[in-house]
Each structure stands twice: as structure tokens, then as C-alpha cells.
Amino acid sequence: MSPDDFTASHWYAIGRFADFPEGLSRPLRLLSQDIVAVRQGKDVKVTRADGRPCMVQARYGHVWTTLMDKPRALYDMPEFLEEGRRLVTAGAIGVLCSGLRAVENFLDMAHFPFVHTGILGIEEHPEVEKYDVSMDAERDEIWATKCCFFQPMAAATATGGQITEYKYRVPHPYSTILYKTCPIREGAWDLIGLFIQPTEEDACIAHSFVLVFDESNSDTSLLHFQQNIFLQDRMILENQVPRKLPIDPRWEMPTRADASSIAYRRWLKANGVVWGTAKLAEAA
């Protein structure tokens, strides 16, 4: 199945610049199509199977490409221009599920006590308080704000757990960014983000990053933390049935804690997203 217009109209991250060694052609998949990427000097060139070139841009620590000749603009993340932040990229991790499932999981707080036990949540504090979800009509993106959750290891210096505040942003069907209150800089937010490269309707590659004010942890320890968390999620994502995202509300039953998931599924539906979603007829 070829991707719907909305899905096809975006830019997609395909790796970090360092992942493309000079002169080595790397065959890749994007939206069920074969593409080839190769580094030539300071550029990465991407071509389709028929040899036609794709547009390429380097942003947010990654190389992005698109299968469209006139794609939508890639969303802005002004935080990448702020002084003093550290960027750690966690590489590309394959996951056997629709990238839409991966984005939805990233927006979810209710799984913290069960999947990230002892790190992002504990079973004794599972409650998800009401939070706000809004559409930014101008930029056509979803924001979930005032998300508060009890975290046992909120900061390296914290002795007990505490309520941590988050914001979530979905500016792209396959990208999501978490803003977390920065423990060392008043009023600032640390960013953790996920750029999904959807390879097939039910398979994807997750590229992730952290962009933080942090003077105490090494890059490697931030990397290990990120990868540890993501691999805990991966076991869930590969065991959700079906692998594609059901967007019919009659199929999977949400509660108030799923407000951002509900908004995300509605937004996909309103934009005519079909590729990567499961039809109710497939439920059987």
C-alpha cells in the first residue's frame, strides 16, 4: 500500500550524519520504498530505486529526507539554538510495530510504573491526574500540558520521589518531543525526542535524542539511560496486537489518562492518515 498524502508529505529522519561514512552506499527503507543514502563530502545524497534524487536536509542532529517534491516544512525546535544545551543521540533502533504505536507509547504516562518501574514510576503511585490537551491550529500540532506524574528518580540529587511536570508535543505524525522540568536551571525545560523512520506500515526505526542542561552526567551515561528506557518500551511495542495502530475508538478502550492518545488518533484520522493504521475489519 502506498502512503496517504499526509504521511507522504513529511520529512523523515534516516540517521545521524555520522551514520553515513564517506563513499559507502547504504540501502534504506522509508514508507515501504527502497532508497539509497551515500555521503559525499559534507552532504548526504539520497536517491530512490529508480535513481531520482530526494531532497535532503540536516537538522536536529539527524539527516532528513522526503519522498515528496514539495514537502511540508519541517517543524521548528528553537531549543536546538539555545546556548549551553547538550545533545546526545541514541542511534537507530528497529522496532516491529507501526511507528504510530511508538509515538503513542511515548505520549503515555500511565505505563511508567509498570514498564519503567523504579525509574520513571512506581506501582504505589500510578495515578494520572487530569492534564490539558490542545491543538495548535496554526502549526497543526498537538500539545499535552500540565502533565504531572510521580517519579522515583526525578533527579540524581533527589533522595525521595517527587511529582515531575512534563509537556508533550506532536508536531509531525512520526515525531514527538517530551519537555521535562530541568532540575538545574530555573524555568528551563529538558527535551527528549523521538524521530520515527517508518519503514513499513508495521515496522519502524526509532531515532532518539536528549537535549539537556546537564553538567553532572557523561554522554555515555545519558545514552545508557535513554537506551535502557527505550528497550523497556520496545518489548511492549513488539507485543501489541495488531502491530498497526487502530484508530477506530470502538476497538481499543481508552480512559481519561489516554487523552493525548485520543487526540493523536483523532488528529491522524482528521488528516486522512490510513498508512500504518489498522482497519476495524482486521480485528476479527
Q: Does 114 bind another protein (CB under 8 A)?
A: yes
Cα angle vertex 65, ends 63, 69, to 5°? 150
Q: Does 231 bind another protein (CB under 8 A)?
A: yes
Q: For another protein, which residue of 13, 63, 170, 205 counts as binding (CB under 8 A)?
A: 205
Q: For another protein, which residue of 38, 57, 80, 126 counts as binding (CB under 8 A)?
A: 126
Q: For another protein, which residue of 24, 81, 241, 281 counts as binding (CB under 8 A)?
A: 241
Q: For another protein, which residue of 48, 55, 242, 248 counts as binding (CB under 8 A)?
A: 242
Q: Does 113 bind another protein (CB under 8 A)?
A: yes
CB of 245 to another protein, least distance (A): 9
Residues sharing a CB contact under 8 Å with residue 88, sequence separation 6 or more, in sequence order: 209, 210, 212, 219, 222, 223, 226
CB of 219 to another protein, least distance (A): 7
Handedness of CA 88, 177, 217, 119 (dihedral sign): negative
CB of 100 to another protein, least distance (A): 12
Q: Does 232 bind another protein (CB under 8 A)?
A: yes
CB of 168 to another protein, least distance (A): 16
* Stretch 65-104 residues interacting with another protein (CB under 8 A): 89-94, 96
Q: Does 128 bind another protein (CB under 8 A)?
A: yes
Cα(238)–Cα(115) distance, integer angstroms? 13
Burial degree of 119 (CB within 10 A; 0-12, 13-18, 19+): middle
Nearer to another protein, 47 or 126 (CB): 126
What CA–CA distances, in Å, run from 132 to 87, 128, 256, 257? Answer: 28, 12, 11, 11
Interface with another protein (CB under 8 A), residue total 47
Report the DSSP beta bridge partners of residue 59. 62
Cα–Cα nearest to 270, from 135, 168, 178, 175: 135
- Give the DSSP per-residue string, 242-272: SSSEE--TTTS---GGGHHHHHHHHHHHHTT
Cα(28)–Cα(25) distance, integer angstroms? 10
Q: Which residues form the interface with another protein (CB under 8 A)?
A: 16, 18-19, 89-94, 96, 108, 110-111, 113-115, 123, 126-128, 205, 218-221, 223-224, 227-229, 231-232, 234-236, 238-242, 246, 252-257
